Amino acid sequence: MISKLKYEEQYDKALRYIFGKTLICRNLERATELAKSTGLDCVTLEGDQVSSKGCLTGGYFNTSRSRLEMQKKRSEYLQMIEDLDKELSGFRVELKQTESSINSVVSEMQKTETKQGKSKDAFEKIQADIRLMKDELTRIERFRNPKERSLAQCKANLEAMNSTKDGLENELHQELMSQLSVQDQHEVDQLNDEIRKLNQENKEAFTARMSLEVTKNKLENLLTNNLFRRKDELVQALQEISVEDRKRQLTNCRTELTSTEKRIKKVLSDVDEIDKKVSEAVKQQKALQKELELWMQKEKEAQDKMEEDSKRMEKWAAKENLLHQKIEECTEKIASLGALPQVDPSYQRMSLKTLFKELEKANHHLKKYNHVNKKALDQFLSFSEQKEKLYKRKEELDIGGEKIRELMQNLEMRKVEAIQFTFRQVAANFTEVFKKLVPQGSGHLILRTQKDTEGNDMEKEVETSDEFTGIGIRVSFTGVDAEMREMNQLSGGQKSLVALALIFAIQKCDPAPFYLFDEIDQALDAQHRKAVADMIHELSDKAQFITTTFRPELLENAHKFYGVRFRNKVSHVDCVTREIARDFVEDDTTHG
């Protein structure tokens, strides 16, 4: 059957798995023969199926309700909906474009109207300014003539006064023959008062004239430079902007707006029709979908029923085959028994009733053996095999346990050796460092064990690391032959020195990147502080030492100095020079 199918290469394995062992036959009889002879599944042209296990499957199928036909209709409806969606999208795009063009035309009209309104407002404002300027100019012209006449009169009066003044000055230069009379003196005083008054009026008139001329010049400049020019510009702009053209353009825009609104209405009506068609298509699709789901449900139920019938048929076929096998086995057993033995002659003479009694006795005798465990022998053999396996497993575990114990013993020995090796290194370094710190003294470390709690400097033979209980320190500050002391017998400064010696000894075995010491020389005297400073300087090639101190000895070999100040309840750290650090330490020592 696989040779008659056409499909894509990617589905080859799946189709071969389903149809690879299926034959197409002309009729049901030929299909049954081939299924028995070849062991393959067969199918007839009418759709009947014959399984290689002996099951038959067939029946009527309505081709008008084919799923392929429904799928074809569904695809057509989906394509129709897709086309309608595309057409609807086109109408929506056209509608958006029309709305955009309408918005642009309306916006242009609004801009034109706004511009026209602004021009009109500006023109009216300029006309008002021109009227104000004309009124101001008229007022100035009205006040100008009286002021000019007053000015001319003032000038004439001034000239008359000047001539009078000249005459009077000439008279003053003349020698008086005698004193003036009272009347002449009074007339002279009046003339002087009148002269002063006229001079004052002249000054006021001159000041008023100057201010009026300044105001006149300002107004003339404003009228000439700004208002007339702005008037000409507005007149030109109004000439360019024709009201008829704007009306004509507004009429065209309204006409175009009307046509666009008609097109929009038409598009909206088309959209409504399309929506109705789409709704009908969707409803039809939903109905077909429901019908398709109903038929698919029925098909599934029919397939489930067919599968159940097929499973039932297979079970019956399997039972039939099993019964045939049992019949064959019984036949073989009967044949293997051969000829039956001859019956005892004594039973031949017995009646049927007597034979039944004898059979009943034999069955009663056999009932005694009903409770015998028939599986005892099998269980015994099974348990014996398990016992042998467990014995072998125990031997393997014993061998593995012995190897593990040997490994643990070796590791424990290595651990003890590592402890002793490390202790010997630290002890040697401690003796060396203590000798450098206290040249006239000596010191060494003691490894304590459970057997020797007092401790001595002799190496002991130990088997496990649990026997080690601790480390003791014995030192002498007065000489090699002097009495050795424990830590609890030393003073505070001596304990500090021993602790530093132990730290330096460990540092030589396992150096750290840096060390931070906080006033380690506080309890030491000057000689021991100098020794500690030299030791730190010696070890500073391989590690960094950071110390805090109030003594000058540690400053001699230091590379960097930092001063800590406490001000306003806040600590401040600054980098300082060696001299500043030494002065601070010496000053603190002096005042301390």
DSSP 442-474: EEEEEEEESS-SS--SS----SSGGGEEEEEEE
DSSP state at residue 173: H
Buried b (16+ CB within 10 A) or exposed e, 196-232: eebeeeeeebeeeeeeeeeeeeeeeeebeeebeebbe
Give whole-number Cα distances, 57 to 86, 113, 301, 321, in Å: 48, 87, 16, 20
Residue 568's CB: how many other CB atoms inside 10 A? 5
For residue 430 the two structure tokens come to 């401690």
**CB-side neighbour CA atoms (13 Å) of 583:** 5
Q: What is the mean pLDDT of the chain?
A: 78
47, burial (CB in 10 Å: exposed 0-12, middle 13-18, buried 19+): exposed
For residue 60 the two structure tokens come to 């009527």
CA 87 to CA 95: how far, in whole Å? 12
For residue 346 the two structure tokens come to 């004594």
Predicted confidence (pLDDT) per residue in 210-231, tens digit:
777 777 667 766 666 666 666 6
pLDDT of 285 > 80? The answer is no
Cα dihedral angle (135, 141, 142, 148), rounded to 10 degrees?
Answer: 160
DSSP 17-48: HHHTTEEEESSHHHHHHHHHHH--EEEETTS-
**pLDDT average, residue stretch 570-588:** 84
The pLDDT, as a whole number, for residue 390 is 92
Closest listed residue to residue 479, CA positions, set 439, 535, 532, 526:
439
Predicted confidence (pLDDT) per residue in 8-17, tens digit:
888 888 888 7
pLDDT of 105 > 70? The answer is yes
Q: Are 583 and 570 in contact (CB under 8 A)?
A: no
CA 25 to CA 38: how far, in whole Å? 13
274, burial (CB in 10 Å: exposed 0-12, middle 13-18, buried 19+): middle
Contacts of 112-121 with C-beta under 8 Å, sequence gap 24+, read: 112/246, 112/249, 112/250, 116/241, 116/246, 119/234, 119/237, 119/238, 119/241
For residue 557 the two structure tokens come to 């070999």
**pLDDT average, residue stretch 73-93:** 83
CA 442 to CA 481: how far, in whole Å? 9
pLDDT of 271 > 50? The answer is yes
**pLDDT average, residue stretch 490-499:** 85
Q: N- to C-terminal Cα distance for the chain?
A: 112
The pLDDT, as a whole number, for residue 277 is 73
Q: Are 550 and 585 in contact (CB under 8 A)?
A: yes
The pLDDT, as a whole number, for residue 177 is 44
Tokens 């500043």 belong to: 580
Q: Are 470 and 451 in contact (CB under 8 A)?
A: no
The pLDDT, as a whole number, for residue 337 is 64
Confidence of residue 178 (pLDDT cuts 50, 70, 90): very low
**pLDDT average, residue stretch 176-195:** 64
CA 522 to CA 525: how far, in whole Å? 8
pLDDT of 256 > 60? The answer is yes
CA 32 to CA 25: how far, in whole Å? 9
**CB-side neighbour CA atoms (13 Å) of 60:** 2
What are residue 485's DSSP bridge partners?
Answer: 475
Confidence of residue 122 (pLDDT cuts 50, 70, 90): confident
Cα dihedral angle (216, 220, 221, 225), rounded to 10 degrees?
Answer: 170
Counting every residue written for the chain, the total comes to: 592
51: Cβ contacts below 8 Å, ≥ 6 apart: 35, 41, 57, 310
**pLDDT average, residue stretch 117-145:** 75
Closest listed residue to residue 457, CA positions, set 437, 441, 471:
471
**pLDDT average, residue stretch 438-461:** 71
Residue 467's CB: how many other CB atoms inside 10 A? 15
CA 428 to CA 341: how far, in whole Å? 105
CA 564 to CA 62: how far, in whole Å? 103
69: Cβ contacts below 8 Å, ≥ 6 apart: 63
Q: Are 525 and 498 in contact (CB under 8 A)?
A: no
Tokens 């000894």 belong to: 505
Query: H or E element: which one contains 128?
Result: helix 67-173
CA 95 to CA 17: how far, in whole Å? 56
Query: H or E element: which one contains 562?
Result: strand 561-567
pLDDT of 325 > 70? The answer is yes
Predicted confidence (pLDDT) per residue in 498-526, tens digit:
888 888 888 888 888 888 989 888 888 88
